[in-house]
Amino acid sequence: MTRIAVTGALGRMGTLVIQEAARIEGMELVAGLDAVGAGKPLQGGLLVRDASQLEQVLKETQPDVLIDFTIAQAAVENACKAASLGVDLVVGTTGISPEQHSQMKQAIEGNVAAVITPNFAVGVNLFWKLVADAAAALKGYDFDIEIIEAHHNQKKDAPSGTALATVEAIKKARGEAGPSDASDVVYGRKGIMPRGKEIGVHAVRAGDIVGDHTVLLAGPGERLEIKHQAHSRTAFASGAVRAASWVAGRSPGIYSMADVLQSR
């Protein structure tokens, strides 16, 4: 039995994670926390606990894994508190800065196991592999690379964590050093901007789009497009629950969703 606690329990993703966990044999929700709505009922007769009580709740309920879909600052604080108490982690919150990620890494390594990824969908993880393979195969050819991502109009961070991870996958596949904020990556264009050898990244925010990611590889007289579209957030929730089941009791360290999928 894998005992889970969920932060951001009343949010879009938290709600779906709890629903998905209820469908899985061997998965038990022992706590749900949120910054608002304390006292509201959750599945299994539990009540939402205030997010400020996380440390107390973790000590009381003793979950195996904490699943976090909140905001960047809260996610870092939650991860550090959970790690200090020996609770394994699944973190799907995006918008986390390199500095914040380093803070989480320091708290996690040597203490607990954690799956941290901007996207838990099975298809997206295959998308990253296909994009990396294409980028490596076309290295040395005259092909430009552009990344276009689209999400709903309430998404706060741009570009998406998935788009940034796509940049990293391309750079790694081509043997290029440097983070996604390096000078060889351009975010949007305005004015007179002749194209060089940069990777272009563009964000669309409109309506209720769940998540679209397209990589355009264009050369003389031809182009290749690799695309992933999420039709429902259920794809992310089911992946997060799968990750929670997988990570419980693993050796301390930070894992990716690829690690989860490769060990089915």
Picking from 224, 180, 223, 177, the residue whose alpha carbon sits closest to that of residue 199 is 180
Give the C-alpha separation, 173 to 143, whole Å.
Answer: 15
Side-chain half-sphere CA neighbours of 131 within 13 A:
28
For residues 165 and 179, the answer to whether their CB atoms sit within 8 Å is: no
Q: Which of 191, 202, 229, 83 has the alpha carbon at shortest distance from 146?
A: 202
149: tokens are: 């991502």
Pairing mode of beta strands 211-219, 222-230: antiparallel
Q: Return contacts of 48-54, CB within 8 angstroms, 24+ apart.
A: 48/9, 48/10, 51/7, 51/78, 54/7, 54/78, 54/81, 54/82
Which residues form the catalytic set?
151, 155
Token readout for 196 is 């060089």
Q: In 10 A of CB 45, how many CB atoms?
A: 6
